[in-house]
Structure 1
């Protein structure tokens, strides 16, 4: 089968003919319909994240925002059959650890990040495997566009889980989102759907315009203000700050700006992962967090069972992940699309739907 194959950090990825994946006894093989192209793919292509144990080795097949049709089923799978249309979270759980049994499969003790390790082939390929299918697979209706489902992928799912489940967003609350890439725009769209007033923060006017289209009520253009947190606070009642603030980028500046945009008792939501500049470490105003009883909350992926909530909100028109998809591309265009993400020019989510 054809696949995009990683050649080494910052080396151009290549289209190669590779063996089709083996089907796990507890898993399936899926024929790919579509797969989102994520900034996490760019991070891995850059060679980032060695500080958290992710080592990108030549031969990897990236791609972790998939949708497709089951073409092979392992002997131990009970709930899925050939011909089923499915998607899955990017962080594949084993279904048996204490966190999985509590419904928090996204932080499974033996989680495998799809497409970032040699034994879990990603979906920039004609087919991809999914382990523990009964735990990780999510049924997808035949009448839903594959591009929309791929748009849910890592970024929308992570943003939805974070905004809807990890922090407390009530109607009328003020939510600031720092960084309006794919995950930031997804957070804005979700917060708006939950009834919040959303302040979008970014350097690019195009990204801020898209944020307004997706429900933001105010914007802050970073290069036009001297103090980003104060500019955010000026939009909130009494200039007191946001109830929730999201770092959707992961650099030191956005993290600190987010924490400092909060009202007393506010919640900072960290979605963005850091770059080689920070290597996972960012200094934050700890004393002020203590004095104001602010909270610093992490959010990683989404458990498979939360997809039902998204699908119900899609059915009623409250959210539409397809609005965040910026373009559709072919498999041949994936290498250049991943490499170009270092320019931060992408607005929204590119999706590969030609294999």
Structure 2
């Protein structure tokens, strides 16, 4: 199969023909129809998450959707021809957290594109498929599915389950990238008033298109002060979608008394990830600081239903569709902060005869 392979950190991915994935008894193989290029992929490409990333050479890509072409003999919930979305945070289905409905913090967590080969390829295998796949409703296109594959579903969990955002509340969203724009659209759909914060006017304009009622360019003005003025006291909820010292700090400082901070953006590992907090403000104002990671499988049904009913439209966040060969261009845009919206790979064309699916069917026996 054709794949974009990470062989060296910070170097162009190698487009090459690699071995087709093996099928395990509890897994399925999907033909990938769409795969988003996420900033988490960029972190992996930069070598910032070594120790978590599988050894090189490796195939990144975790915002995937596609069609099942083979199912292992122990798989009960999926069959050939099923349209599926691949959740980013996956569990074993047996640990106490999974059994309690919190598969996103499984004790034996797996992540496509990080702990095993991902979606920057024509095919991929999903292990423990009965626990780690969701069937796509007929009304949800593959492009929409991959647009919600990581950033959107991460924002959905942060907004609805962790932030518990309610209609009428003021919500400050720091960062107008994929996660921030997703949070803006989702919070707006709930009925909240979103203030988007970024250093790019182009990204802020896009945030308005997906629902922000106000924007703040933090390069031009003091963001916490501007938010306190707009809201007449401070936001009820503030979300840091980036994970750097400045945005995390400003997010907390933007809150009114008894406000809720949701930390979605991850930072570097090790000492560089030890950020400083305004503890006195957190104590004096009774601010709640919560981390939010991925989304458990148990919450997918509600999100997919909202997408199918068009109450949420992740496809509107997609600004560019590309081929496998263009992933490095997408990484360059992330390095320079020059891109906007969500980029999705939709062209996995291989310059060789069409795949004979009997290969996978034989594995499934």
Query: Which TM class, normalised by the smaller chain length?
Result: over 0.9
1:265 — aligned with what? 258
CA distance in 1, matches of 2:245, 2:155: 19
Quote how far apart the aligned CAs of 1:139 are. Answer: 0.4
CA distance in 2, matches of 1:177, 1:82: 41
2:137 — aligned with what? 141
Which structure 2 residue ranges, 5 or more long, are not aligned?
349-365
Which structure 1 residue ranges, 5 or more long, are not aligned?
none
1:345 — aligned with what? 338
Per-residue CA distance 1:218-239 (angstroms, 9 max, x = gap): 11011211x2211111110xx2
Is 2:51 aligned against 1:47? no
CA distance in 1, matches of 2:283, 2:292: 21
**Root mean square deviation, CA, Å:** 1.4
From the superposition, tell whether residues 278 and 222 of structure 1 become closer, same or farther in structure 2 (CA, over 3 Å): farther
2:81 to 71, 80, 83: 83
Say if 2:137 and 2:308, in contact at 8 Å, map to a contact too.
Answer: no
Calculate the TM-score normalised by the size of structure 2: 0.92
CA distance in 2, matches of 1:262, 1:144: 36
Quote how far apart the aligned CAs of 1:90 are. Answer: 1.1
Say if 1:198 and 1:217, in contact at 8 Å, map to a contact too.
Answer: yes
Say if 2:140 and 2:307, in contact at 8 Å, map to a contact too.
Answer: no
Quote how far apart the aligned CAs of 1:311 are. Answer: 2.0
Quote how far apart the aligned CAs of 1:162 are. Answer: 0.5
1:232 — aligned with what? 227
CA distance in 1, matches of 2:15, 2:138: 29
Is 2:171 aligned against 1:156? no
CA distance in 2, matches of 1:33, 1:315: 18
Matches within 5 A, 1:1-355: 1-50=1-50, 53-55=51-53, 57-117=55-115, 120-225=116-221, 227-236=222-231, 239-275=232-268, 279-355=272-348
Say if 1:47 and 1:56, in contact at 8 Å, map to a contact too.
Answer: no
- Alignment partner of 2:257: what SS? strand
Quote how far apart the aligned CAs of 1:143 are. Answer: 3.9
- Alignment partner of 1:100: what SS? helix
CA distance in 2, matches of 1:83, 1:47: 36
From the superposition, tell whether residues 234 and 284 of structure 1 become closer, same or farther in structure 2 (CA, over 3 Å): same
CA distance in 2, matches of 1:223, 1:335: 28
Per-residue CA distance 1:194-237 (angstroms, 9 max, x = gap): 11011000001111111111111111011211x2211111110x
CA distance in 2, matches of 1:183, 1:160: 9
Quote how far apart the aligned CAs of 1:293 are. Answer: 0.8
- Alignment partner of 2:65: what SS? strand
From the superposition, tell whether residues 278 and 178 of structure 1 become closer, same or farther in structure 2 (CA, over 3 Å): farther
Q: Which moved more, 1:176-185 or 1:295-304?
A: 295-304
- Alignment partner of 2:272: what SS? coil
Q: Which moved more, 1:139-148 or 1:264-273?
A: 139-148
Say if 1:65 and 1:151, in contact at 8 Å, map to a contact too.
Answer: yes
Per-residue CA distance 1:260-315 (angstroms, 9 max, x = gap): 10111111101111147973211010121011110111111111232221222123
Say if 1:92 and 1:131, in contact at 8 Å, map to a contact too.
Answer: no
CA distance in 2, matches of 1:266, 1:89: 30
